[in-house]
Structure 1
Amino acid sequence: MSSSNIVRDATERYRKARREAGESRGAFETEIRRLGGTPRVDTEVRRGGAPGHVATILGISETDQTVIRARHMYNGDQLVQLADSYVPLDVAEAAGVENPDPGRGGIISRMAEAGFEQTEVIEEVIQYPATEVEAEAFGVEVDSLLLQITHTGYTAEGRAVEVTVHRPGPGWVLRFSAPLN
């Protein structure tokens, strides 16, 4: 399977049954397996401030501590996505998401178990020019246009409890659907 046929289906990917399929650690792992690939995720977990736009979404200041889960996501040996998740400290501590292996269903399942169930997800997709680091990582030219998906998970009370900035490599297919009622 090449990266040109990775389908990121936002309609289904965050549903509990999909995230927890088999012993999956989250939506990415489930998607890659479903497409016949071999998922691997290298995760670095640390505490730190969030970038300005992320802090604004979370309703915190840039100097407030978050738990940052910086991930390099692979299909086999091919890097196919970079993703950085930012979780407010109180949510991260309650949900235990500082463990690099978040367990079955990933951090969204851990948050739900801790009382921070995400009931709404908003994703914004933009194009941006690849940096030197991203160009080298994905094998593209500097300034090549790549996609960035900013995922925000909200609780029923309207609190943003997770912002993940996904930077997929070239060739991804983004699939969305919306109810028409």
Structure 2
Amino acid sequence: MTKHPSATVEFRRVAQRLRDAVTGGTYEPGSRLPAAADLAEHLGCTRSAVERAVRVAAAEGLVTTRKGSGAYVSRLLKRITRQTTGLLRAGGDGEADGFGEALEAELRALGLVARHFPDVRTERAPQDLAALLGLKRSGQNVLVRDTRTFAVAAGAAPTDPGTPVQLAVTYLPLDIARHTALEDPDPGPRGVRGLLADLGHRPTDFSETIDVRPPREDEAAALEIDPDNRVIQLTRTAATADRAVEVTVSVLPAHLWSLSYRWTTAS
């Protein structure tokens, strides 16, 4: 059924007023929005217009809806800019973890710090990842480093849960990673890239594929986002001259991230 033009105009007006209220600080990050009936009275509109506007705000990442509890303003409204110019920068020893350093720097610029929650396990490689790693069959086991990253305000209490900003899963061939420091949940300041170099597998070639898609149910829960949000999936492959040695799949809430790329051409 076609919506009446006046209803569409009202909805757009309400949606913009709600955006302005959230981004302008009328409702504090993390706070619960008033009930739909109260918002409708405050905004001078119908309840249906408010409910539709809230759904749009949730899809844009401005609010998160919780069944039986209502809608809450997202705790993090700032965008994190991923500057790729520093991703492959080596440290003084030539092998510092530029990827980890870049994320820390990006959050620090916003007055935030990262808290990482890693998990390491062995599992069968998915078919698409097996192909990227050059494995002969999809059933081969790989080492999986699974890290969920939260952003919290600098100086926040240890009990502050922060905001989940990234899910990163790194896949490593077992013939390289088994019984090495790569199995340690904390790879240290040199990161996975430095440890691979120590093992004689220094990656020198990197490729990255970017996709934007709806989150899977488990991803939406882990990132605490609405199912109508979108996520950015970055699939990065690191290789030596002979073979691929690492594939990392990062999933980022699209409303929290901007991707910035820079390159130069030969004169």
1:153 is displaced (CA, Å) by 0.5
Partner amino acid, structure 1, of 2:203: Q
**Relative to 1, partners in 2 of residues 1:179 and 1:163: Cα closer, same or farther, differing over 3 Å?**
same
2:236 to 146, 151, 156: 151
Aligned residue for 1:47?
122
CA distance in 2, matches of 1:144, 1:112: 38
Task: Specify the structure having the higher radius of gyration (Cα).
Answer: 2
Aligned residue for 1:106?
191
Contact 2:123 2:141 in 1 (8 A): yes
**Relative to 1, partners in 2 of residues 1:114 and 1:34: Cα closer, same or farther, differing over 3 Å?**
farther
CA distance in 2, matches of 1:93, 1:138: 30
**Relative to 1, partners in 2 of residues 1:33 and 1:114: Cα closer, same or farther, differing over 3 Å?**
farther
RMSD: 2.5
1:72 aligned onto 2:148:
yes
1:82 aligned onto 2:167:
yes
CA distance in 1, matches of 2:171, 2:243: 14
CA distance in 2, matches of 1:172, 1:45: 26
1:28 is displaced (CA, Å) by 2.9
TM-score (norm 1): 0.86
1:125 is displaced (CA, Å) by 0.2
Structure number having the greater strand percentage: 1
Aligned residue for 1:173?
258
1:12 aligned onto 2:86:
yes
Aligned residue for 2:178?
93
CA distance in 2, matches of 1:94, 1:30: 32
1:48 is displaced (CA, Å) by 1.1
CA distance in 2, matches of 1:26, 1:99: 19
1:161 to 245, 250, 267: 245
**Relative to 1, partners in 2 of residues 1:143 and 1:25: Cα closer, same or farther, differing over 3 Å?**
closer
Contact 1:3 1:172 in 2 (8 A): no
Structure number having the greater helix percentage: 2
The range that moved more, 12-21 or 85-94, is: 12-21
Aligned residue for 1:133?
218
Partner amino acid, structure 1, of 2:209: E
1:63 aligned onto 2:139:
yes
**Relative to 1, partners in 2 of residues 1:5 and 1:135: Cα closer, same or farther, differing over 3 Å?**
same
Contact 1:42 1:73 in 2 (8 A): yes
Contact 2:83 2:102 in 1 (8 A): no
Aligned residue for 1:32?
107
Calculate percent identity across the aligned residue pairs: 32
Partner amino acid, structure 1, of 2:167: L
Gaps of 5+ in 1: none
**Helix, strand or coil for the counterpart of 1:38?**
strand
CA distance in 1, matches of 2:102, 2:195: 14
Partner amino acid, structure 2, of 1:117: R
Partner amino acid, structure 1, of 2:142: T
1:3 is displaced (CA, Å) by 6.0
TM-score (norm 2): 0.60
Gaps of 5+ in 2: 1-74, 153-161
